[in-house]
Amino acid sequence: MNRPTVGVLALQGDTREHLIALRECGADPITVRRRSELDAVEALVLPGGESTTMSHLLLELDLLEPLRARLADGLPAYGSCAGMIMLASEIVDAGAGGREALPLRGIDMTVRRNAFGRQVDSFEGDLAFAGLDEPVRAVFIRAPWVERVGDGVQVLARAAGHAVAVRQGSVLATAFHPEMTGDRRIHQLFVDIVTGRA
C-alpha cells in the first residue's frame, strides 16, 4: 500500500513529535516551510505552538493564501492546539497590534484562543473520543476550545462542556496534543482520513 506524503508545517512548535507519530502510522512525513513543499504534500499537519507567531510567519513566507487555497480545494489537514485555532473560520481573542492569529477557514467553527487559561493552567485528562473504544489521554497547554460549529462539523470530544476535537470532511482538529502521549490513535485516524479508510 502506498504511504501518503503528509507535511508538517515546520514554522514553530512541536514538529518533530508529529513527524514521528505520522511515520509510525504509515505516512511519509516531510517538513513544510516553502511553497514548493506545500505543493508536494497530500495532506498537512499544523502543530501546536503560538498561533499569532505562526500566522505572522505564514504571511512572511507567502504561504497564507496558498494554504487557504489548498484547504478550500480539499487538502486533508489536522491541527493540534495552535493548529486548531488556525484551521478555524473565526477566532475569538485573536490578538492585536499586527500580531493576530489568522483563520485559514478549514473548518466552519469559532475557536477561542487560550480558553482554558495560561501556561500555569495546563492540565491532562482522559476524554471519551467518538469512534474510539478507550478514552484518549489529552494534554492541554494554553489550549483553545470551540465555541461554535457549523453544519457538517462533527464534535468528537468535549472537555469542561466545550468541544475540543472536531472533524469536517477531511479536516480534523484537537485542542490538545496527542503527539505528546505516545497514543497514536488520533494520528492514525488522520492518516486513515488521508488514505480514504476513515
d(CA 124, CA 142): 12
pTM for this entry:
0.94
The set of catalytic residues is: 81, 177, 179
80-114 burial, b for 16+ CB within 10 Å, e for fewer? Answer: bbbbbbbbbbebbebbeeeebbbbbebbbbebbbe
Name every residue whose Cβ is closer than 8 Å to that of residue 60 and which is 6 or more positions away in sequence: none
Query: What are 37-94's pLDDT values in tens digits?
Result: 999 999 999 999 999 999 999 999 999 999 999 999 999 999 999 999 999 999 998 7
Task: Let me know if domain 5-195 sits in CATH 3.40.50.880.
Answer: yes
pLDDT digits (tens, 9 = 90+) for 161-171: 999 999 999 99
- Residue 55 marked as a ligand binder: no
Q: Is 141 annotated as a binding residue?
A: yes
Q: Is 79 annotated as a binding residue?
A: no
> How many CB atoms are closer than 10 A to CB 145?
21
If we measure between CA atoms, which residue out of 167, 169, 195, 172 comes closest to residue 6? 195
List the domain boundaries for the chain: 5-195
Q: pLDDT digit string (tens) for 93-131?
A: 877 666 788 999 999 999 998 887 666 567 789 999 999
Cα 166 from Cα 109, distance rounded (Å): 9
Is 150 among the annotated ligand-binding positions? no
Answer for the pair 84, 144: CB distance below 8 angstroms, yes or no. yes
37 is annotated as contributing to ligand binding: no
Asked whether residue 74 is marked as a ligand-binding residue, the answer is no
76: cell is: 486533508
Query: In this model, does residue 1 exceed pLDDT 60?
Result: no
